[in-house]
Structure 1
Amino acid sequence: MHAQIVLFDGFDPLDVVAPFEVLVAGSDAVGGELEVELVSAEGPRTVVSGSRGLTLQATARLDPAKPGYVIVPGAAGPIEGDPDEGVETIPVLLARFGETEAVPLIRRAFEEPDVTVATVCGGSLALAMAGLLEGRHANTHHLGVDVLEATGAIPVRARVVDDGDLVTAGGVTSGLDLALHLLDRSYGPRVAIAVEELFAYERRGTVWTDTGREPKPT
Structure 2
Amino acid sequence: SRIRAELGEDTRIVLMLRDPVAAAYSLWRHNTRTAGEDLSFEEALAAEPARLSGEAPVPRGGLPPRYYAYTERVRYAPQVERFLKVFPREQLWIAFYETFFEDPLPEFAELCRFLGVDDTFVPEFRVSNPSGDPRSRVVRDIANRQAWWKAPLKWVLPPTARAMLRHRMNEWNSASPSPSAPSNGGVPPELAALIHERVGDRLQLERTLSRSVPW
Q: Which TM-score applies when normalising by structure 1?
A: 0.27
Q: Which has the higher contact order (CA 8 A, sep 6+)?
A: 2
More helix by share: 2
Q: Which structure has the larger Rg?
A: 2
- Larger strand share, 1 or 2: 1
